[in-house]
Structure 1
Amino acid sequence: MTKLTTYSDHELLIALHCGDKKAFEALYFRYFTPLSTYAYKRLQDEYVVTELVQDVFVDIWKKRETLDTDGEVASLLYAMLRNKALHELRARFIQSKHIEEFTLLHKDDVADKLTDGLYVRQMEEKMQQAVNRLSPQCKNAFTLSRYEHLSYKEIAEKMSISVNTVEKHIGKALQLLRQEFQGYNLPVVILAGLIELALRR
């Protein structure tokens, strides 16, 4: 691996084309941070950015045998990431439009629910139960991210764990909360408020 880090992009691309896993790892460590920085400027979400960058490298590995070894690997990586980022932004736009339409169509119902003390308490309790089902480490990482607004790196340092472990904890927490409220059709703003209330306790 030490020797491969001195290879040029072109040499690593040729080795990758031949199925060299060490060359793939060298490219991964060389470009993961620059790609993540590039994507974060556009998406502002560390968890999503990490997933997209990892997807880019998964795609590169799957397509290794068909890669153009005369091309520039940096241009290829950034182009692939740019396409994934645009897809994510389009998905966000569509989601926001759906939320807007849902709110307009059900604004009276939503307003009634928000002013219904019993309903709000039930939702708060349900959210609190979901958060409490998280493992202590998972709950701690999620709380530091969503309530104290720390970066993944800051959380990793505070908890003495790796950034990758932080990502897994927060991803697991979000997945559980999404599953818990899957059938409620609540606008994101309401869920965000419920999460904050649960984390304050």
Structure 2
Amino acid sequence: MADYQTYNDNALLLRIAEGDEAAFSLLFNRYYQAMVSFVQRFTESAPVSEEIVQDVFLKIWMTRETLAAVTHCKAYLMTVAKNQTINALKKLAREQEKAREIQEAPQLQQETEDDPRFHVIDRAIDQLPPQRKTVYLMARHGRLSYEEIGRQLNISAKTVKKHMQLAIASVTAFIKANARLLLAFLFWLKFFSGALLFF
């Protein structure tokens, strides 16, 4: 990477287009903070902005073959960042609207809470070790980033990520182990409900 320090942006883009990871890493380090600051003007959230910029660089790497045609690197990066931010904010708005709809429909919420499938998921979460359960709930329900969770629990983001990986594996295994029992129960419930119609 040291040899690339004198490369201008367009030269780096050409190297990245050829799959050069060192050049990509240098471009990332060169523009990451500036792009986070740019995105944060729209999101007003540092964690959300960091996530968006990471997605931007992932997208750039996945479509790196097109970089050879880029002539103005900084303008290109900011344009991609702006588009990604707009998409992320639209998605967030849709999720917030969906959450409001659920809150305004208590009957639907009650039906969801009574669904035996959700009881299995709740049991899967309840059997997690205390800290792993806390991390899982903060990430999935609280929608906090690994960095935010780490700060609140006084652990590293890497440790938070490990807890999440183990939690997801454990919850998935629990659900699979109980899948047959759940299917049998649902079949019985459907059969029993139908049978009542004949009495």
Give the whole-Å Cα distance in 2 for the aligned partners of 1:173 and 1:45: 26
Q: CA RMSD in A?
A: 4.4
Give the AA of the match of 1:56.
V
Give the AA of the match of 1:25.
S
Which residues in structure 2 correspond to 1:1-201 (within 5 Å)? Answer: 1-43=1-43, 44=45, 46=47, 48-104=48-104, 106-107=105-106, 109=107, 130=125, 133=128, 136=131, 138=132, 152=147, 155=150, 158-159=154-155, 161=156, 163=157, 166=160, 169=163
Under a length normalisation based on structure 2, what TM-score does the superposition of the two structures give? 0.56
Under a length normalisation based on structure 1, what TM-score does the superposition of the two structures give? 0.56
CA distance change for structure 1 residues 71 and 150 in 2, over 3 Å: closer, same or farther? closer
Give 3-state SS (helix, strand or coil) of 1:19's partner. coil
CA distance change for structure 1 residues 96 and 86 in 2, over 3 Å: closer, same or farther? same
| Structure exhibiting the larger radius of gyration computed from Cα positions | 2
Q: Is the 8 A contact 2:102 2:108 kept in 1?
A: no
Q: Is the 8 A contact 1:16 1:23 kept in 2?
A: yes
Deviations 1:32-68 (A, max 9, x none): 233233334433261x444432222222122222224
Deviations 1:124-143 (A, max 9, x none): xx86972661574x567679
Q: Is the 8 A contact 1:17 1:69 kept in 2?
A: no
Give the whole-Å Cα distance in 2 for the aligned partners of 1:95 and 1:144: 17
Give the whole-Å Cα distance in 2 for the aligned partners of 1:171 and 1:50: 21
Percent identical: 23
Q: Offset at 1:174?
A: 9.2
Structure 1 residue ranges without an equivalent (≥5) = 114-118, 181-201
Give the whole-Å Cα distance in 1 for the aligned partners of 2:166 and 2:93: 24
Structure 2 residue ranges without an equivalent (≥5) = 176-199
Q: Offset at 1:22?
A: 1.0
Q: Which has the higher contact order (CA 8 A, sep 6+)?
A: 1
Give the whole-Å Cα distance in 2 for the aligned partners of 1:150 and 1:96: 17
Give the AA of the match of 2:34.
P
Deviations 1:72-113 (A, max 9, x none): 222222211211211121122222222323333x24x489x7
